[in-house]
Amino acid sequence: MTLILLILGGTQEASQLATKAANLPDIKVKLSLAGRTRQAVATKNARVGGFGGIAGLTQYLQAEKIDLLIDATHPFATQISHNAAIAANKLGLPRLMLVRSQWKPVTGDDWIEVENIAAASAILPSFAQRVFLTIGRQDLTAFAQVENIWFLMRAIENPSSDILLPKGLLLLERGPFDINLEKQLLEKYNIDTLVSKNSGGDATYPKIIAARDNGVKVVMIKPPMLPQGQRVEDVEAALQWLKRF
Determine contact, residues 14/72, Cβ cutoff 8 Å. Answer: yes
**Residue 36 sits in the site that holds ligand NAP (CB under 6 A):** yes
CA–CA distance, 27 with 38 (Å, rounded to integer): 28
Residue 92, sorted as left (phi over 0), alpha (psi -120 to 50) or beta, turns out to be left
SS3 172: strand
Which residue lies nearer to ligand NAP by CB, 102 or 214? Answer: 102
77 forms part of the interface with ligand NAP (CB under 6 A): yes
Site track 123-162 with ligand NAP (rule: CB under 6 A), x = hit: -------------x--------------------------
* By CB under 6 A, residue 204 contacts ligand NAP: no
Of residues 57 and 146, the one with the C-beta less far from ligand NAP: 57
Own/partner pairs, 56-65, CB within 8 angstroms, 24+ separation: 57/83, 57/84, 57/87, 58/87, 58/90, 58/91, 61/6, 61/87, 61/88, 61/91, 61/93, 62/91, 64/4, 64/6, 64/30, 65/4
33 binds ligand NAP (CB under 6 A): yes
Contact between 214 and ligand NAP per CB under 6 A? no
Give the shortest CB-171-to-ligand NAP separation in angstroms. 17
Q: Which of positions 106-125 make contact with ligand NAP (CB under 6 A)?
A: none
Instruction: Tell me phi and psi for residue 30, to 5 degrees.
Output: -120, 130
Which residues are 97's β-sheet partners?
71, 231
Length of the chain: 245
Choose one: 8-16, 147-155, 207-215, 233-241; the region binding ligand NAP (CB under 6 A): 8-16
Q: Which of 29, 26, 90, 81 is nearest to 58 (CA)?
A: 90
CB closer to ligand NAP, 74 vs 217: 74
Does the protein bind ligand NAP through residue 56 (CB under 6 A)?
yes
Query: With CB under 6 A as the contact rule, which of the stretches 71-79, 146-154, 157-165, 234-242 interacts with ligand NAP?
Result: 71-79
Residues in the site for ligand NAP, rule: CB under 6 A? Answer: 8-11, 32-34, 36, 50-53, 56-57, 73-74, 76-80, 83, 136, 197
